[in-house]
A and B are shown apart, each in its own frame.
Chain A
Amino acid sequence: MRQEDESEIVAGIPHLRRYARGLTGDRERADDLVQDTLERTCSRFPLWQRRGALRAWMFGIMHNLFIDRVRARRSQPEDALDTELPEPPDRPTQTDGLELRDLDRVLARLPAEQREVLLLVGVEEMSYQDVARIVGVPIGTVMSRLSRARERLRAELQGGCEQPRIQRVK
């Protein structure tokens, strides 16, 4: 591996952490996901061969690992009740208060597939094409997931903080 590839991987770590934190809703789980992503990035690196951006490739690896975990947890019945509910939000204390806590909660309740697209587009600011490649679905599916995620967030956040809605909506 060339020095510059190595530095590119290292430079990507904060972005991977931000995305993983949004996906998992939890710092520990996020860093576990990042760690596994780095491991796989290294072991598969000889196979990357500079086809496309290294960063997008790493996000694709993280996507695969994350979806594997979501599926594994769904298949465990004892855990099924709160699959989409993370532990109490554990955010840096300096960020603003209730509004963000609500957002965090609603984000965690989105279906995993919608959460991924919302974060890749809205936070990582990737092009729809890149997102389609990373997530491995047609661009039309990206758009419909994005649309559903945003409309659901809008509906749930509109009521403000008066509706904590702790129960899982199903």
Chain B
Amino acid sequence: MMTLTHDPRPNDPRPVTEADLHAHVDRQLDPAREAEVLQYLATRPDEQARVQAWQQQNEALHRLLDPLLHEPVPPRLPAQLRSDLAEASQRLPWRSLAAGLAIALLSAASTWWARGSIDDERVRTAFIDGARSAQASQASTGDDLRGFARRAAVAHVVYSPDIRRPVEVGADEEQALVAWLSKRLGTQVRPPLLKAVGYELIGGRLLPGDSGPVAQFMYHDAIGQRMTLYVTREAPGGATTAFRFGRDGPVNVFYWVDRQVGYAISGGAERQELLRVAQEVHRQLAPG
């Protein structure tokens, strides 16, 4: 079912959109909306014709391609599968991790973490390996990330595309989130409010860092673009630093250290926009 949110007012139906018409063709509307769309179409022969043409396209595509479903599969495919399976069963999961970086990490690390069935040490290794191989494969740009800032970027790449479970504890349980993260990190951690700069908290999770847990808070903007704030106590030297900027592929990162706590803001947004966010975070987190 499509998650079009409908106006609850019964006497004021939402206008039928192009997306509704497609969802009607693809049978992805809930019954109430479907009825409204049908009613709309009844008085619009022009739209009806378009919708019908789309339905015929679907049918024709099935006639064109469905024969593939019913014909015998070429023998090379199952044969290949058998040898792949044999090979895969000999391989250790964390070996492929280093090779596959983002996609691999994306599928693996969060689940290991969530299930808790594999020790933190291994997840940590995966992160470090991933970071290393990314570093090896990327030409030096001068903006290279190191240390906790790189781990923040990797963690952003790993978790921000996760649609189902981007966070372990959602923003609706903010109190619990704050208590839990603060306890695990051994210091008071509270997600900053970033509404003023256009971001809303989704939630947070705990991640393995280099020498202990770190917190990741995830936010999104009005169009769903995600941004993460990474908070760690393993900042090198612990001295307070200025903002630094770096990038890792499409991910821009601003990071700094304030009283032995390292912060990193990662996102796909432009440098200027991230800087605004970083300044706001810094302002709110500065002890005052």
Contacts and interface: CB of A to CB of B under 8 A. Distances in A.
Given A31-B74, A104-B64, A123-B62, A46 B2 contact: no
Nearest to A89: B64
A153 B91 CA distance: 46
Interface in A15-41: 15, 17-18, 21-22, 31, 34-35, 38-39, 41
Interface stretch (A72-80, A128-136, A160-168): A128-136
Contacts of A143: 18-19, 22
A104 to B, nearest CB: 6
Contacts of A99: 60
B188 interface: no
B65 A123 contact: yes
B80 A35 contact: yes
A47 B108 contact: yes
B223 A138 contact: yes
Nearest to A30: B68
B238 interface: no
Contact of A47 (B2, B58, B96, B161): B96
A167 B69 CA distance: 31
Given A49-B111, A138-B224, A150-B54, A18 B80 contact: no
Contact of A122 (B58, B76, B80): B58
A17 B71 CA distance: 10
B68 A9 contact: no
Contact of A147 (B22, B78, B112): B22
B65 A21 contact: yes
A52 B164 contact: yes
Contact of A38 (B67, B84, B103): B84
A4 interface: no
A44 interface: yes
The A contact surface, by secondary structure, is helix
Interface residues of B, number: 56
Nearest to B49: A154
B87 interface: yes
A112 interface: no
Contacts of B3: 129
Interface in A113-170: 118-119, 121-123, 125, 127-129, 132-133, 136, 138, 143, 146-147, 150-151, 153-154, 157
Given A147-B22, A153-B57, A43 B63 contact: no
A45 B70 CA distance: 27
Contact of B96 (A17, A44, A147): A44
Interface in B142-187: 161, 163-165
A92 interface: yes
B50 interface: yes
Contacts of A125: 26
B87 A43 contact: yes
Contacts of B93: 46-47
A49 B68 contact: no
Contacts of B57: 103, 122, 150, 153-154, 157
Given A43-B88, A51-B107, A121-B26, A128 B2 contact: yes
A1 B212 CA distance: 32
Shortest 5 CB-CB contacts between residues of A and residues of B: A42-B84, A46-B93, A49-B111, A18-B68, A47-B107
Interface of A: 1, 6, 9-10, 13-15, 17-18, 21-22, 31, 34-35, 38-39, 41-52, 64, 91-92, 94-96, 99-100, 103-104, 107, 118-119, 121-123, 125, 127-129, 132-133, 136, 138, 143, 146-147, 150-151, 153-154, 157
29 contacts: A1-B89, A9-B81, A13-B77, A14-B68, A21-B68, A35-B76, A35-B77, A39-B80, A42-B87, A42-B88, A45-B88, A46-B96, A47-B93, A47-B107, A49-B111, A51-B107, A51-B164, A91-B64, A103-B64, A119-B61, A127-B2, A128-B23, A128-B26, A128-B28, A143-B18, A143-B19, A147-B22, A154-B53, A154-B57
